[in-house]
Structure 1
Amino acid sequence: MTLTALVAFYFIHLAAAVAPGPAVLMAARTALRDGMLSGACIAVGLGLGACLWALAALFGLALLFQVAPFLLIVLKVVGGLYLGYLAYKIWKHAPEPMETEDIKGHKGLTPPKAVWLGIKTQLASPKPALFFGTIFLGLIPEHPPVWVYLAVLGIIFFNDCVWNIIVSRIFSLERTRRAYLNLKTSIDRIFGVLLAALSAKLVLS
């Protein structure tokens, strides 16, 4: 795999990472609620989750889906239900003041819990499953040297992590957070609806 091919892969994956989806929504909302540190930890988890999807694809994910296509359907449905559950929790608790809100995964996040929430969100999303099970494998040559695997995983982690850190930084700014506090119920419900809609779209696609 040449340097030119790696650069091309970088931009193709970056476009996939930047595209709006459950991961970006989770990073934005976590940063709004809990600040930059929690948002950055979520971003690390999202990067690690993307790398796990890439490893699964390299070790036969696409072949497994070809042999047993119903598994992809099961994965999409289970992931969609989990993301739908998160959307429901966000909607349900939207009217509650931030100080008393108790949404699992968002209240009093420690860095390890934030990283784990990021991993779970990424693994539950059908979006990376579709990318890594199809487009990704078409970009990787057969039997590449070890350094190619390491470079590809490094690119994947960097793109997902850094982009979501940028998102977290934007949504953790004091002006942004003040606006959120003033319009919390409406914004949370918008986040909930968007997350549910994205999950449904990914599951049905």
Structure 2
Amino acid sequence: MDGSVLALLSVLGALAIGAISPGPSFVLVARTSIAVSRAAGVAAAVGMGAGGVVFATLALLGLHALLTQVGWLYLTLKVAGGLYLVHLAVRIWRGAAEPVRVPDAAAKSHGILRSFGIGLATQISNPKTAIVYASIFAALLPASPPAWVLLALPPAVFLVETGWYAIVAVAFSAGRPRAAYLRSKAWIDRLAASVIGALGIRLVMDAAKPS
């Protein structure tokens, strides 16, 4: 197998393992799928994929070196990302006791766009993920990869991220998961809010630690 092809597959495999690992992104897509609709969950998955493209592009442009040399920028991104996740967690917690409403056609369209935006924002709110991308690229890509690899990476990353979270969306929007959610909506929403909020608080606290 060509070395460049092997490097590309290695990068995608490492990113796939990271995507599959449970975290706030997984929680958000699963909750969106069972609380709103399958289409909204898939829209959130597409947002996650778009966020992956952002990280992949920035990694190829040398984001790791920039964040390493400009310490205040990394800390700023940490605080901003952490505060966003805390804000999202508070909103989910506050709505935990509200009943699920069946939206009309216009609201469904708006909900899909909103789900995409929340998925994208959640994905890019953690600057540590940017470091993971940059580290994987630095470790597994050759020093001077051919142009086709650089062009293929962003869309391939999109397919990996979107593909996994779309599977999550389809699985959790099935009848049994949705019925279980409706029976225990308040507790499930509060658990999801706790997971997302915990990561947000952790990011802010990490930024506050003396270097």
Is the TM value for this pair above 0.5? yes
Question: Does the Cα contact within 8 Å between 1:38 and 1:114 map onto a contact in 2?
Answer: yes
Change (3 A) 1:94 1:107: farther
* 1:95-146 superposed Cα distances (whole Å, 9 cap, x missing partner): 1112299xxxx98744333322222111112342221232333222233222
In structure 2, C-alpha distance between the alignment counterparts of 1:192 and 1:42, rounded to whole Å: 17
1:133 lines up with 2:134 in the alignment:
yes
Change (3 A) 1:111 1:100: closer
Question: Does the Cα contact within 8 Å between 1:45 and 1:117 map onto a contact in 2?
Answer: yes
Q: Gaps spanning 5+ residues in structure 2: where?
A: 207-211
Shift of 1:23: 1.5
Shift of 1:4: 2.0
1:70 paired residue number: 72
In structure 1, C-alpha distance between the alignment counterparts of 2:15 and 2:100, rounded to whole Å: 35
Shift of 1:155: 2.5
* 1:149-200 superposed Cα distances (whole Å, 9 cap, x missing partner): 1222233111110110011111101111111111111110011111112333
Question: Does the Cα contact within 8 Å between 2:8 and 2:141 map onto a contact in 1?
Answer: no
Residue type of the partner of 1:126?
P
1:92 paired residue number: 94
Structure 1 residues 66-75 or 128-137, which shifts more?
128-137
Match of 1:26 among 25, 28, 40: 28
Q: Gaps spanning 5+ residues in structure 1: where?
A: none
What is the percent sequence identity of the aligned residues? 36
1:162 paired residue number: 163
Residue type of the partner of 2:173?
S
Question: Does the Cα contact within 8 Å between 1:23 and 1:118 map onto a contact in 2?
Answer: yes
Change (3 A) 1:100 1:176: closer
Question: Does the Cα contact within 8 Å between 2:4 and 2:142 map onto a contact in 1?
Answer: no
The TM-score normalised by the length of structure 2 is 0.86
2:209 paired residue number: none
Structure 1 residues 191-200 or 48-57, which shifts more?
191-200
Question: Does the Cα contact within 8 Å between 1:61 and 1:133 map onto a contact in 2?
Answer: yes
How many residue pairs get aligned? The number is 201
1:144 paired residue number: 145
In structure 1, C-alpha distance between the alignment counterparts of 2:93 and 2:111, rounded to whole Å: 23
The TM-score normalised by the length of structure 1 is 0.88
Residue type of the partner of 1:65?
L
Q: Secondary structure at the match of 1:95?
A: coil
